[in-house]
Structure 1
């Protein structure tokens, strides 16, 4: 896929993985629009990369998503929708009664999964009408097997993975030219992953792999440890599960 001259919308683009994506897509000659819920972070991203358009929006809110679509339509539309926005609410001990558990779980599912469907549905006709367009959905290494510390987050990413596979096949069946990519990161050194055990990669390594995958039309982009967990989950699922859930996690759940 050609990236030069394409207009890309990156949700959750004001920090972490999203902000690194801004940098690398600009270097590829793309025009970049970002969204986020924190105006201060959006302003900082705009100051750092003056060529971008930064729009405050919540990917999980239907009213905000429709307003975002209308604004982008007035700006001339997009060629690539990169669903990068995500939330993780930390330790989620299912064995302890917690009044906030359902609320946190709903927020994760709404942003990480349902928000992806919401934006894809809104922008599908626009993408269908343009030449060489794409959707990028971000799932996770945890879409293959769950991490006990973040079960709902894991479930939301598994939902994204299954949905992405089905969406890609569905569009192929109806003769659509919209390409559907899935990015499967391992643990990435961002604020969201603070406190999680395991070897991490930096955002630049992840986005570099994404850019290469897009250029080569590699629709399933597994990065770093995700490749190993994918293989192990197919042939040695118990071993893969233990790697994602070491004894240190059990101790945290018991604490």
Structure 2
């Protein structure tokens, strides 16, 4: 896929992985629109990168999705929709009755899964009408093997992974040219996991790998340890499960 000259919409683009993506896509000649919930953060990005279009929008809210579509349509539309926005609740012990389990799961599914489908439904016809267009879905290494301390987050990303595979197949059946990509990051060094001492890669490494995958039409893009876990899970699933859930995580569940 040729990214240069394309217009890309990046959800959750005001910080972390999304902001790094905005920078790298600008560098290769793409036009960038970002969204985010925090207007102050969007203003900072806009000041540093005047060519970026910043739109305040919450990926988990239906009314924001429709408003976002209307604004993007008025701007002339997009060629690439990059679902980067995602949320995760603090680790919870599912074996201990707690109403927060359900609240957290609903929140994660609303943003990580339903929010993606909602935007896809809104932008689908626009993207299908382009000569070359794509949707990038961010799943996770945890959609391959679940984390015991992030059970509902893992589930939301697994649901998304199956949706992506089905969507790709449906579009193939109707002979659509729209390209459906899945990005599977390992643990990435962002504010969301700042308190964890596990092995991480930088947002720059992740986005560099994403861009290489896009340019080579590699529809499933596994970065770093996601490649290793994918292979291990096929050959030695118990080993893969233990690598994702080291003994030190047991203390978090117990305590």
> Structure 2-normalised TM-score?
0.98
* Alignment correspondent of 1:28: 28
Partner of 1:151, secondary structure, is: helix
Per-residue deviation, 1:54:
0.4
Could you tell me how far apart the structure 1 residues matched to 2:205 and 2:212 are? Answer: 11
Partner of 1:149, secondary structure, is: helix
* Alignment correspondent of 2:162: 162
Could you tell me how far apart the structure 2 residues matched to 1:155 and 1:252 are? Answer: 19
1:208-230 residue CA offsets vs partner (Å, 9 max, x unmatched):
00000000001100000000000
Could you tell me how far apart the structure 1 residues matched to 2:249 and 2:100 are? Answer: 21
Q: Is the 8 A contact 1:60 1:118 kept in 2?
A: no
* Alignment correspondent of 1:38: 38
**Worse-superposed segment, 70-79 or 44-53:** 44-53
Could you tell me how far apart the structure 1 residues matched to 2:244 and 2:123 are? Answer: 35
* Alignment correspondent of 1:178: 178
Instruction: Tell me how many residue pairs correspond in the alignment.
Output: 255
Which structure 2 residues correspond to residues 1-255 of structure 1 after superposition, within 5 A? 1-255=1-255
Could you tell me how far apart the structure 1 residues matched to 2:193 and 2:173 are? Answer: 38
Per-residue deviation, 1:197:
4.4
Per-residue deviation, 1:235:
1.2
Partner of 2:4, secondary structure, is: coil
Partner of 1:240, secondary structure, is: helix
In the alignment, structure 2 segments of 5+ residues that lack a partner are none
Structure 1 runs, 4 residues or longer, greater than 4 Å off: none
Q: Is the 8 A contact 1:83 1:138 kept in 2?
A: yes
